[in-house]
Every structure is written in structure tokens, then in C-alpha cells.
Amino acid sequence: MNKPRARLTKREQLMKSALELFAKNGIHATGIDAIVERSGVTKKTLYAHFMSKEELVVAVLRQYDEQARNEIRRQVENGGKTARGRLLAVFDFAEKWFQQDDFYGCLFINAIGEFSEKSAPIRQICMEYKKSLKGYIRELCEQAGASNPQGLAEELGMLLEGATVTAQISQNPKTARIAKRVAKVLIDKGIPKVG
């Protein structure tokens, strides 16, 4: 028997609606009125939970950061039996992501493009996420026995970012497959074969 889904709190409704609108339209292009309308919550309720739009954006990005990190790790760990296989599974994850109807590119790349001031908290959250993702890829490179884990992680990270932006612009999820083929060459070159 299926458990009934728990109803979202007003705060959760606001954050879910804001995330959807920020991803699709951008942060600056999404006004408070649109978030309120989409969430079915009053403006008064929004300001009871968040003192400003920036505070809402920060909360949404932090929550999305946690969800994205967990989802990537889960799918990559399930997608590869070996460390080398998990490195390639990063690109399998990307392909599934690029195929989603609500794929509008990387929320963090898009957000950092909207906030040019280096000290902006929103920009800092985006940079933390990207640093964490690169750290995870480096961890996989180390587990796979890469001769230069940092260098290989940098190459694979750049390849993933390029595939993400290209998929967003071209609306072609196959960019992940192309990136995976290039990643395999880099992995084969950077990780000595055993035996």
C-alpha cells in the first residue's frame, strides 16, 4: 500500500516554485509576484519566511546544492562497479539529466552569470557547488589510481561543464555521449591499466 504524500509546508511550496521559475526563467527575470502566484502562497507569507528575494534565492540554491550532490553521488555510485566505471557514469548521469523536460542548463552556471560581483553570496554558493563537484570527480580519479588525479579531475570537470552548456544551448542531450567518449580517452590516458 502506498503511503500518501506529505503535503508541502508553505515554505517548501515557495522554495519549490522559486526553484522551478529560477531554473526556467532566470533569477532576475523571476519576480516575487510570479513566485507567489505559482506557489499559491500570499506575499505576506513569503516575507514571513524570507526577508528578501535574495534570502529566498540563497535558501533555494543551498537546498538544490544538497539535492544535486546527493543525486549525482547516488546515480554515479549505482552506475559504475569500478572507480573507472564511476568516472564514466558521471556522463551517464549527465545524459539522463539533459533528457529531462525541465532541463534548462545548470542552475549554478546560470545563476553565477547573473551575479557578477565576486562577493555576492549567491555567487559564492555557486562556486562552492562547483568546487564540491570537482572534488568528487577528483576523489573518483584517486580511487581509480590516476597518475595525476587533480589534472584528470580538472579535464573531466571542464568536459562535463562544456557538455552541460552545449546541451543547454543546442537542446541536444547527446552532447553527454560525445563528452563520455572524450572522457574515456582521457581516463585511459590518465589511469594506468592494471595487469
Write the pLDDT tens digit of every residue in 56-87. Answer: 999 999 999 999 999 999 999 999 999 999 99
CATH code of domain 59-190: 1.10.357.10
How far apart are the C-alpha atoms of 99 and 141, rounded to whole Å?
26
Instruction: Note whether 7-50 and 59-190 share their fold.
Output: no
Cβ–Cβ < 8 Å for 32, 46: yes
Q: What are the sequence ranges of the domains in the chain?
A: 7-50, 59-190
For residue 13, which of 39, 42, 43, 51 has the smallest C-alpha distance?
Answer: 39
Q: Is the pLDDT of residue 43 over 50?
A: yes
SS3 26: coil
Q: Output the average pLDDT for the chain.
A: 93
Q: What is the pTM of this model?
A: 0.89
- Could you report the per-residue pLDDT of 79-133, keeping only the tens digit for each? 999 999 999 999 999 999 999 999 999 999 999 999 988 888 999 999 999 999 9
The gap from C-alpha 193 to its chain's centroid, in whole angstroms, comes to 31
The per-residue pLDDT for 6 is 67
Q: What region, left, alpha or beta, does residue 152 occupy, with left being phi > 0 and alpha being psi -120 to 50 degrees?
A: alpha
Question: For residue 195, what pLDDT band results from cuts at 50, 70 and 90?
Answer: very low
Question: For residue 169, what pLDDT band results from cuts at 50, 70 and 90?
Answer: very high
Q: And the C-alpha cell for 104? A: 534548462
User: Which overall architecture, per CATH, does domain 7-50 show?
Assistant: Orthogonal Bundle (1.10)
